[in-house]
Structure 1
Amino acid sequence: MTKAERTRETRERILAAACEVIAEVGFEKIRMWMVAKRAGVSTALLHYHFETREKLFTEAMTYSFAQTGTELDRDAGSVPASVILARILNSLLPTDPELRQDWRLWQELWVRALRDDSAQHLAIDLYGQLHTWVAEALQRGIDSGEFAPCDIDTTTTLLLALCDGFGIRLMLADSRVSLEAAKGAIWGVVADALGVPAKFPAL
């Protein structure tokens, strides 16, 4: 392994550890030594890569977001557009332990964004990337004839808002909202707008 590869591996290990710790204790309570311990590195090495908690938080959010994006890109060119869209929407809900961790990070970001300009800019940028993912999936389906034409920006904004709203209720373990009901309601909007079957596709 080259020096550059070792450096990249160390940074990724630190960022993965940071995601775990931030999700567990929250940004306000996190200490750099907690992340160093979880990552198996010295505090000095952690500070070498990330000078402040704020920088670590920002890069951890970006790292977590990128990991989800990488997963969504798998075999994207060989499956129906409805499945690609369903995978994206599924990833925007707390559907498994890893995505619940991502949701805790998002919630930390939302809180920070209310009083910190850099966090606000990061949140808006990440939402922009989410908007692009959903919009591109819609455009792919329209181009292939699988989806009926729609106002892509409006539909994308609505789907993101629905995922946020249902996601919050699911994270709160609200007994009036189940994961299957949430997915069904969101896909109902997709079905009406795009002219596809009302059942959420198998992933």
Structure 2
Amino acid sequence: MAGTAASRGREVRRRLVQAARDLVPERGWTAVSTRTVAERAGVAPGLVHYHFSSLQALLAEAAVGALRDMVGGAGMLVQRAGTPGELVDLLTAEVERYTGTDPASLLAVETYLAATRDPDLRRQLTAVLDEFRARLADRLREHGVPDPDATAAVLAAVIDGVLLHRALTPLPAGTVAPVLRRIVERGQQG
């Protein structure tokens, strides 16, 4: 019986997280309520606070988890790159998957904005970014790119900025990649 109750609890928690992931891009971070999450998940509103310390904790877990998944996919691309130029090409091609108005892009934008007002969310989001930057810097270091930590930080910021701009004025990978390739390849030449 305990296994059944535990599995039901895990399923409710999973549905709440998925509902939050869906609602933040649809309505905006501040317009998501306990009631709307519960309704979307098909559970009673009291279960939100049974499974999470607060609505903000649920939203943070949902958003940070989704962003961790996005960054994890990009991190795997980084490992495949045979050269710094190929690394840039793979990252910029990955951004092409996002329109700037798709749910994943909107979730990222909403989460960044919410993190400016929530120190705990900021800490969690910063940890995700730091992990990605570290993976990127390690790969740049392996390829002999000078100052790989600073280069990784700038590349990550540019990729984020390109994603942000896509909702307004898309910058195609064919425009972004050559500029970034010049940065990482010139650095190698000295």
TM-score per shorter chain, which class? Answer: 0.7 to 0.9
Residue matched to 1:108 = 110
**Structure 1: gaps (5+ residues):** 143-147, 197-203
Query: What is the one-letter code of the residue matched to 1:164?
Result: D
SS of match in other structure, 2:23: helix
Deviations 1:157-181 (A, max 9, x none): 2212212222222122x2xx34x2x
Gaps of 5+ in 2: none
Distance (whole Å) between structure 2 residues aligned to residue 9 and residue 167 of structure 1 = 32
Deviation at 1:94, TM superposition (A): 6.4
2:181 alignment partner in structure 1 = 191
Instruction: Give the distance between the partners of 1:162 and 1:68, measured in 2 at CA.
Output: 16
TM-score of the superposed pair, with normalisation by structure 1: 0.71
- Contact preservation (8 Å) 1:15, 1:63: no
C-alpha distance in 2 between matches for 1:113 and 1:104: 14
Q: Which amino acid aligns with 1:191?
A: R
Of 15, 18, 22 in structure 1, the residue corresponding to residue 24 of structure 2 is 22
**Structure 1 residue 20 displacement after superposition:** 0.9
Equivalent residue, structure 1, for 2:166: 170
2:166 alignment partner, SS class = helix
Q: Cα RMSD between the aligned structures?
A: 3.1
- The match for 1:35 among 34, 37, 40 is 37
Q: Which has the higher contact order (CA 8 A, sep 6+)?
A: 2
| TM-score, L = length of structure 2 | 0.75
Counterpart Cα distance in 1 of 2:139 and 2:10: 31
Between 1:52-61 and 1:67-76, the stretch displaced more is: 67-76
Secondary structure at the counterpart of residue 17 of structure 1: helix
Cα distance in structure 2, aligned partners of 1:19 and 1:189? 34
Percent pairwise identity:
23
Q: Partner of 1:115: helix, strand, or coil?
A: coil
Which structure 2 residues correspond to residues 96-135 of structure 1 after superposition, within 5 A? 96=98, 100-135=102-137
The whole-number CA distance in structure 2 between the counterparts of 1:9 and 1:139 is: 42
Alignment of 1:16-165 (within 5 A): 16-72=18-74, 79-81=80-82, 86-91=89-94, 93=95, 95-96=97-98, 100-140=102-142, 142=143, 148-165=144-161
- Any idea what SS the aligned residue of 1:22 has? helix
Pair 136,25 (structure 1): closer, same or farther in 2 beyond 3 Å: same
**One-letter amino acid matched to 1:115:** R
Q: Secondary structure at the match of 2:146?
A: coil
Contact kept in structure 2, 1:131 and 1:156, CA below 8 Å: yes
Secondary structure of 1:95's counterpart equals: coil
User: Using the alignment, how far apart are the partners of 1:6 and 1:81 within structure 2?
Assistant: 45
Whole-angstrom CA distance in 2 between matches of 1:81 and 1:5: 43
Count of aligned residue pairs for this structure pair? 181
Higher deviation after alignment, 107-116 or 48-57: 107-116
Distance 1:48 1:16 in 2: 16
